[in-house]
A and B are shown apart, each in its own frame.
Chain A
């Protein structure tokens, strides 16, 4: 499903962030989104997900998204595997979820409570959850924050390995580290 945003206008108080903004994401496209902070990367993603209503404009309805949010939003006190099962599957899928996660996280962290994981590991759990969920389009808001360069590459590889043809829109301020990946770059 193609994602088309038309004539999007939105402002925060006095500050107009979008004015007749247009966006077209073709099905299965891979897009990187860069902009100086405060330009509305997060707002754009939130508007797409339906979490924020724009002042005016049309946004596509009924698209099934999965997302990495600005903050991780993991279920506190639950294990890494539970985070995945919350968005898809049941107890029977535990092993499958663990196998999936083991491509991105150390084995001993899979049945640990997420509160005991480091910030970077929690971030990777949030990324794995987005990829594990059923969706047509992946929206990732600065998914690589708090990851060192090596982990960033590992994580980016993981994203591409499990994208499964879904449209990807990923915002980042580390464009130069992603030069090896087939992103079409958009700037706000």
Chain B
């Protein structure tokens, strides 16, 4: 079977218009329009939010917390992964904990963190807990994928550990790390926003979404959703570009 050809710009525009039309039709068919805002209502709601200070404070609040959690998780996952690769006993010790972190439902974490720390640092910790195990396991796989022949070569030539790390381990690690980051990025946003909806910390997108629910303001809910999608894809582009620079 041949792979399908990629769609032309015109084709993509038509596809976008098609789905916007489906959305519009669905909202018109909805029994109560207030329950299902149309694309136009959504854009209007977003337009009304944009000039308000509250919108930007919420955006900054969520962006700050989630990206802080993401970077802390990335850093810790990376360092822990490297250390576990180096010391077998550490790997044996921490791997079960990280496997558990991957399997426990996010909602359980959210509630536990709310009980322990309150809603302030909630999104930071949730994003961190999502990212850390993913980065840890992919760091281990990446380092494990290093070509043993290259390691033998560098041992015979007595190449320094630092040089070996940069020229042999780093290139082996980067594809794994980039893949893990791409998926962890999206997940940290989804989980972070979900946590904010449950914990409703002040000045957060989640709080605004919760309020939209209380007032049954679906147009606003959609506007915030659109905001999250834009933020998370911008953030993803930024981080992946950063990783590309490091991977050169």
Contact = CB atoms under 8 A, between A and B. Distances in A.
Contacts of A86: 154, 157, 159, 163, 167
A53 B224 CA distance: 64
**Contact-size category for B:** 10 to 19
A69 B171 contact: no
B157 A69 contact: no
A69 B149 contact: yes
Contact of B171 (A64, A71, A77, A133): A77
A75 B151 CA distance: 10
Contacts of B168: 75
A69 B155 CA distance: 12
Nearest to B171: A77
A47 to B, nearest CB: 12
Contacts, number: 37
B interface majority secondary structure: helix
Q: Among the interface residues A73, A76, A78, A133, which one has the most CB atoms of the partner chain B within 10 A?
A: A73
A177 interface: no
A133 B159 CA distance: 10
Nearest to A77: B171
Contacts of B162: none
Contacts of A78: 167
A101 interface: no
A76 B170 CA distance: 12
A66 B171 contact: no
Lowest 10 CB-CB distances: which A-B pairs, in order?
A73-B153, A87-B157, A73-B149, A49-B156, A67-B156, A133-B157, A51-B152, A73-B150, A86-B167, A65-B156
